[in-house]
């Protein structure tokens, strides 16, 4: 028997639900005028002060905010680079769980794509930003089945799938584009049927990272320390989201071996401990 097309299933599911919520698109930008609020962040003077996975996460988020807030302020000003602004806002959305930052990221990536409609990386990041907005949108629980605002999260999921699939179809061998889709798909609820595709993306990324010559056009990137750090961090989180604890623990260990960032080393160490590994 031929297996059903999971992509078709999820698109049919989303389309059916969104048909009942005709105002979803309008509501989807409800928060676009809101001003994001940066939370108080954890400050440590030494990584040795980190003593738990929760504290490691808080310190990591604080470092992300400290790095990307100045970039956002500079690049969102007149004459700034909208892609750089979008990327900064995306990282701030991820670190703060504030949907206003996701909206700002989407707006910035929209501007980048207006200038260059073929900017595949901007499309991939925009898709992931829509997924972040779906994650953090304040409508939760039973309210999600109410027409109107209850369909906002489904709208953003639908746009996320569209952007991410289009980006990979446009640049199937670009490892960063594929990593953005893989990480986003594994963070999706299982009802959307994205798990298998996300795992397949990670299988391909694993092969490329282990042997960069298998993707010759991007071999230099795949050999770089920045790529390996980004890849193992993303894989660690994604496999934990997917409930694959052994893979997550191995990936955290590899991250600790690849990075020279002491905060990342502590993050990896404490997540491995939380998964039952020794220090």
Q: Where are the domains of the chain?
A: 6-168
Rg (CA), the chain: 19
- 168-194 pLDDT, tens digit each: 999 999 999 999 999 999 999 888 889
Q: Residue 139 corresponds to which tokens in the numbers above?
A: 């409508």
Residue 151: per-residue pLDDT: 73
| Rama region for 79: left / alpha / beta (φ>0; ψ in -120 to 50; rest) | left
pLDDT at 26 over 90: no
Q: What is the Cβ-side half-sphere exposure of residue 46, based on CA atoms within 13 angstroms?
A: 2
Mean per-residue pLDDT over the chain, rounded: 84
User: How many Å apart are CA 189 and CA 174, to the nearest integer?
Assistant: 25
Q: What is the Cβ-side half-sphere exposure of residue 170, based on CA atoms within 13 angstroms?
A: 17
**Residues 59, 64, 154: CA angle, nearest 5 degrees:** 105
Handedness of CA 114, 119, 123, 129 (dihedral sign): negative
Please, are residues 194 and 161 in contact by the beta-carbon 8 Å criterion? yes
Which is more confident, 255 or 148?
A: 255
Residue 152: per-residue pLDDT: 78
pTM of the predicted protein model: 0.84
Confidence of residue 135 (pLDDT cuts 50, 70, 90): confident
Burial letters 96-118, b for 16+ CB under 10 A, else e: bebbbbbbbbbbbbeebbeeeee
- 197-256 pLDDT, tens digit each: 999 999 999 999 999 999 999 999 999 999 999 999 999 999 999 999 999 999 999 999
pLDDT at 41 over 70: no
């Amino acid at each position: 028997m031929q297996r059903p097309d999971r992509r078709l299933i999820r698109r049919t599911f989303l389309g059916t639900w969104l048909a009942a919520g005709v105002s979803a698109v309008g509501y989807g930008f409800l928060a676009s005028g809101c001003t994001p609020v940066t939370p108080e962040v954890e400050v440590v003077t030494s990584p040795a002060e980190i003593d738990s996975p929760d504290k490691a996460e808080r310190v990591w988020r604080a470092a992300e905010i400290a790095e990307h807030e100045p970039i956002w302020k500079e690049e969102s000003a007149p004459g700034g680079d909208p892609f750089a602004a979008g990327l900064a806002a995306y990282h701030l959305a991820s670190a703060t769980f504030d949907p206003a930052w996701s909206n700002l990221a989407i707006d910035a990536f929209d501007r980048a794509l207006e200038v260059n409609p073929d900017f595949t990386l901007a499309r991939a990041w925009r898709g992931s930003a829509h997924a972040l907005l779906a994650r953090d949108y304040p409508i939760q629980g039973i309210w999600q089945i109410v027409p109107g605002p209850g369909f906002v999260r489904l709208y953003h999921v639908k746009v996320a799938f569209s952007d991410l699939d289009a980006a990979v179809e446009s640049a199937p061998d670009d490892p960063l584009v594929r990593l953005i889709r893989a990480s986003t798909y594994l963070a999706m609820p299982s009802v959307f049927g994205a798990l298998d595709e996300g795992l397949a993306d990670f299988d391909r990324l694993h092969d490329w990272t282990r042997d960069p010559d298998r993707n010759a056009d991007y071999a230099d990137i795949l050999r770089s320390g920045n790529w390996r750090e980004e890849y193992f961090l993303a894989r660690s989180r994604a496999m934990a989201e997917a409930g694959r604890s052994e893979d997550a623990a191995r990936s955290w260990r590899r991250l600790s071996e690849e990075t020279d960032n002491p905060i990342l080393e502590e993050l990896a160490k404490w997540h491995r401990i939380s998964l039952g590994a020794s220090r």
